[in-house]
Amino acid sequence: MVIGVLLAPAVLAVFTYRKKRVALASLLVFSIGILIYGALGLWHGTATTAWDDVVQLTALRSWFLIILGLVAAMSLWYSFGYHDLRQSVIFWLPLFLLSMTAVLLAANLWVFMTGWESMTITSFFLVTTHHERADVLKSSYIYLVMSQGSAMLILAGFMVIGAHLHSYQFSEWTHYAAGLTLSTKTLVFALLGLGFGIKSGVVPFHVWLPRAHPAAPAPVSSLMSGVMIKLGIFGIIQFLLLDLGASAHFWPLLILAAGAMSSLLGVLYALMEHDLKRLLAYHSIENMGIILLGLGVMSLGIDWHHPLWVAIGLIAALFHSLNHAIFKSQLFLAAGAVEQHSGTLDIDHLGGLIRTTPAIALGFIGGAMAISALPPFNGFVSEWLTFRGLIDLIGPGTGLLSLYGLGLVMVLGLTGALAALCFVKASGIVFLGEARHAVPHQPLPGTMVWPVLTLGALTLVLGVIPQPLLHLLQPIEPTHLVSSGPMLLPIGTRVIAGLLVIIVVLLARLSRIGDVRTVPRWSCGRQPNFAMQYTSASFTKSIRTTFALIYRPHRTVERLGPAAPDFPESLVYRAGTVPVWERYFYRPLYRLIWRVSHLSTRIQNGPVRLYLAYLLGTVGIMLAILH
Amino acid sequence: MLWVAQVLGISLVLTLSPLMWGITQTTKARLQGRRGPSVWLMYWVMKKNWHKETTVPEFSSIIFRLAPSMTLAPLLVVLITIPIAGRVPALWPHNMLTVFFLLALERFWTGLAGLDSAGTFGGMGASRATTLGTGIEPALFAALGIFWEVSRHAAIEPLAPALRTNPASLFPWALASVSLALVLLAEWGRLPVDNPDTHLELTMIHEATLLEYDGRFLALSQWAMTLKITVLATLGWVILGPNLSSLWSNLALRLAEVTVTTVALGLIESRFTKLRFFQIPAYLAAAAGIGILAFYLLAGGLTV
C-alpha cells in the first residue's frame, strides 16, 4: 500500500515525459516521498508487510534511501531552471530513479538484479544524451561494457551464495551467510568485491567514471556521482561486511589498500583536469576511496572481533556517503550553473564569476570547503571519524598492522591536502580574479540557485551538529557502540564552529572590510592584464613535478616553417600527462581480448553447414557422456 | 583556577607573539654582526599598518577582504584549544586531528586570497603555499601516529607521564621531536623552506600571498604570521616538553621554552640557506621518514 502510493508519482512521470514541468513535478513528489519513507524507516524502525518477500526496508536501506531522496529532490528542483534538459532525459530519469529505488528495496536476488540492470541501462541512455558531441558515444560504450561486467560478477557472486544457502531471499542470507565455509566466502568476496568495486569507481576500475559522469546533464551527473556509485558501497556493506561476517584477514587489508589507492590517485588525477565536471568526477573516486578506508576499518574490526573498529568504520563510511552525496551534488549543480551561465566548463577560460553570479560562487566555495574536510563543514566530521578509525589500527602488539595503519593515515593526510589544493584551484580560478575570456553571462533562474544554497546550508548544519544524525545510525550498526556519542566524537564541533564564527565576525568588523579603496594590482610596472593570472596548469605545475613518477609528464615543441630548425615561423607546444592505467592496463587487456576473440574466427566463420556439424557433434558428445 | 591559567596563557601568547618575532630577528642580526632593529619593531609596524589607509587590488572580491580574518581565526581557535598550563577544563575540545584540519582551513584561505588578488604573485604564492601543505600534512600525521602509540589518544595532552612509565620510548620520542621541528620550520615559512625576509618575487612563498595586502589587512596578516610561530611552538612544547605539577610554573616554563625556540630559530636561520622550491618535497619527505623511523623503533621492530 505504502509502496504503491510512493511509486504512483514516478509512474505518472514515466507517462508524462512530453510535458516537462508535469513530469519533473511528479518526480519531485516521488523523491520527497522516498526521503520521508527513508527517514521514517530509520526513525521508527521497520514494519513487516505482506510484500516482505519482494521488497524490504531495513535501517541500512533507509539510510541510502535518504541519500537517494535528498539528492534526487535537489536535482529535480534544480532541473526546473536547467535549460539543457532534452525530452529523452525526462523520459529516462523516472526509470533511473525507480530502478535505484528497486535496488535499495529489493528483498531477493531477482528484484535486485532487475533493478541493478535497469539502473545501468537507463543511466547509459542518460549519459548518451549529447550523443552528437565528440567522444560521448565512446565514453558511454566504455561505461556500458564495464557496468555489464560488474553486473555479471555480482550475479555470479549472488549465485554462489544462493547455491550454498538454497535461497535467493536476502533476509535468509542475513541469517545464514555468516556460516558459509571460508573458501566459499573467499570466492564470494572476490566476485562481489570486484563487481561492486567497478560500480563504485574504485581505482583501477575507475576509467568509466570520469568519462561517463561529466557527459550527462548536470542534474544527472549529480545523481550518478551522489547516489548511483553509493549503491556499490551499499552492496559492499550489506552483502560483504554485514552478511558474510568474518572472512580471511586478507580481505580487510585489500579493502584498505584499494581505498588508499583510490583516494590518492583520484585526487591526483583530478588535479590535472581543467574541465570542471571531470575534475568533480575524479573527486568522486577520491571520496569513494575515503569511504572504503572506513569500510576497511570496519571489516578488520569484524575479523579481529574489535567492536570499536566496527562502529567507527561503519559510521565514518555511512556518514561520509551522505556527506559526499550532499556536497558533491552541490558542486555538480553549481558546475552546471556555471556552464549555463558562461557557456563553458573549461576552468582556464573562466574567472571572476563571483561578480556575475555571487550565489553560485558562495555555493561552490562552501562545497569546496566541505569536500576539503575543513571545519565547520560536514566533510570535516566524517573525515575526522575516518582518521580516528585508521589511527586506532596503530597500537601495541599489532606490529605490521601498526605500520600499515600509519601509512594509511599518512596517505589520507596527503589526500586531504591535495584535495584542498585542487579546490583552491577550482574555486579560485573559476570564481575569483579577473575574467580570462569575454564570455556572455546568462542570468540564472532562482530554481537553479536555491538547491545549491540549500545543499550548502545542509553541509554546514551537519558539520556543526552531527550528533543527532549519528544517533540515528544506531540500528544499522551491529555493535551498538554509537550510543557512546561523545567518545566517538570528542571534537566539540559546536564549540569549534561557534569560536570560528565569532572570531571571524569580530575580526572582519574590526578591520572594517567595507572601508577600502580599490587600486590597480602590482604587475612590476607593466600594464596589468588577465593573462598574468595563474591558470589551472600553472597552479598545479609544482605538483606535476613532485609526482612526476605517477603523472609521467611530457612536452614537445614543434617548429613549423620552411627553415624550421633555425627560423621557425610558428611553434606548436604540446604538453600532457600519461594516463597510466589506460595505457599499461586497459590497452593490453583490450588487445588480449581482441586477439582471443580473433582466434574464434577459425571455428566460427559463417557457413551454416559447419554450425550444423558442431550441433551434431555436441549432441553426440552429450549422449556419450550421459550414456 | 584552571580557567584563569588558561586565559592568562592565551593572552600571553596573543600579546607576546610580535615580541617573539623580534627576538628571532635580533638574534639573527647579532649573529650577522649587526645591532639590528628593536625587538619591539613588529608592534610598531603593526600599529603603523593598522592606521594606514587600506587598499585592495582591482578585480578582487569579498574573499580577498575576508581572508585575513579567515586565516587568523583558525590559529586563534587552535590557541584556545591548547592546554597551555598543562591541563584544560573538563569537556574542552582539545584534539590534535582538529588542529591539523584548522591549519588546513588557514591554508585554504591563504590560497583563495592569493588567487583573488588577480595578479601573478598572488597565484604563485597560493600555488606554492598549498603545495607546501601537501608535504607538511603527511609528516604531521606521522608525528601524530607516534604520539598515538605512546599515549593511546589524540588529545593535546603532555606525553611526559606516558614517557615516564615507558623509558624505552625516549629515543623514538627524540626522533619524533626532530621530525616535528623540521615540519614546523616549513609550516612557519622559515628557512630553509621559505625566507620571511626576502621580497624577491621569484623565491617568496608566504610573502607572495601577502603582496597585495596593506593597511589593516596587512596588520592582521602580520599578527597571524607571528602568532603561527608562537602558537605552534607552544603546542609542540605542551605535548613534547616537561610537565610540572603547578599550573603557574607550567606557564612560566612555556614562556621560557617558546623564547628559547625563537632564539633557536634565529640560530637556524643564520646557519642555513634557502632550498630550491623543487627540493622542498625531499626535505619534507625526510621529515616524514624520520617520523616513520621513530614509529618503527617504538613499535619494537616488526612483530605481528
Nearest chain B CA: its distance from A255 CA (Å): 20
Question: Cβ(A571)–Cβ(A558) under 8 Å?
Answer: yes
Question: Cβ(B216)–Cβ(B205) under 8 Å?
Answer: no
pLDDT tens for A96-142 read 999 999 999 999 999 999 999 999 999 999 999 888 888 889 999 99
Quote the CA–CA distance of A94 and A76 in Å, as a whole number.
11
Q: CB pairs under 8 A, 24+ apart, for B225-228?
A: B225/B21, B225/B189, B225/B196, B226/B17, B226/B18, B226/B20, B226/B21, B226/B42, B227/B13, B227/B14, B227/B17, B227/B72, B227/B75, B227/B76, B227/B79, B228/B75, B228/B187, B228/B188
Range of lowest pLDDT (A214-218, A237-241, A438-442, A608-612) = A438-442
What domain range includes position B71? 2-298
Residue with cell 555555493: A363
Kindly list the residues from chain B whose CB atom is less than 8 angstroms away from the CB atom of residue A398. 304
Range of lowest pLDDT (A247-251, A433-437, B140-144, B182-186) = A247-251
Closest chain A residue by Cα to residue B113: A428
- Is B303 within the bounds of a domain? no
pLDDT tens for A356-414 read 999 999 999 999 999 999 988 999 999 999 998 998 888 755 677 888 889 999 999 99
CB contact under 8 A, A540 and B127: yes
Model confidence at A504: pLDDT above 80: yes
- Is B286 within the bounds of a domain? yes
Q: Which of A369, A434, A510 sits opposite B118 (nearest CB)?
A: A434
Nearest chain A CA: its distance from B123 CA (Å): 5
- Is B88 within the bounds of a domain? yes
Q: Which of A375, A499, A539 sits opposite B127 (nearest CB)?
A: A539
CB contact under 8 A, B145 and A394: yes
Mean pLDDT (whole number) for A556-563 = 84
Quote the CA–CA distance of A584 and A149 in Å, as a whole number.
20
Mean pLDDT (whole number) for B140-166 = 81
pLDDT tens for A312-327 read 899 999 999 999 999 9
Closest chain A residue by Cα to residue B60: A433
Number of domains in chain B: 1
Best of B92, B97, B298 to substitute, by most chain A Cβ atoms within 10 angstroms, is B97
Find all residues with CB under 8 Å of A21, minimum gap 6, and list them: A80
Orientation angle between helical segments A446-464 and A307-342, nearest 10 degrees: 160
CB contact under 8 A, B217 and A539: no
CB contact under 8 A, A403 and B296: yes
Q: In this predicted complex, what is the ipTM?
A: 0.94
- Is B56 within the bounds of a domain? yes
Distance of CA B146 to the CA centre of its chain: 19
Q: Which of A391, A417, A495 sits opposite B137 (nearest CB)?
A: A417
- Is B182 within the bounds of a domain? yes
pLDDT tens for B194-210 read 888 777 777 788 888 88
Kindly list the residues from chain A whose CB atom is less than 8 angstroms away from the CB atom of residue B300. 399
Kindly list the residues from chain A whose CB atom is less than 8 angstroms away from the CB atom of residue B95. 490-491
- Is B304 within the bounds of a domain? no
pLDDT tens for B111-141 read 999 999 888 889 999 999 999 999 999 999 9
Orientation angle between helical segments A446-464 and A358-371, nearest 10 degrees: 30
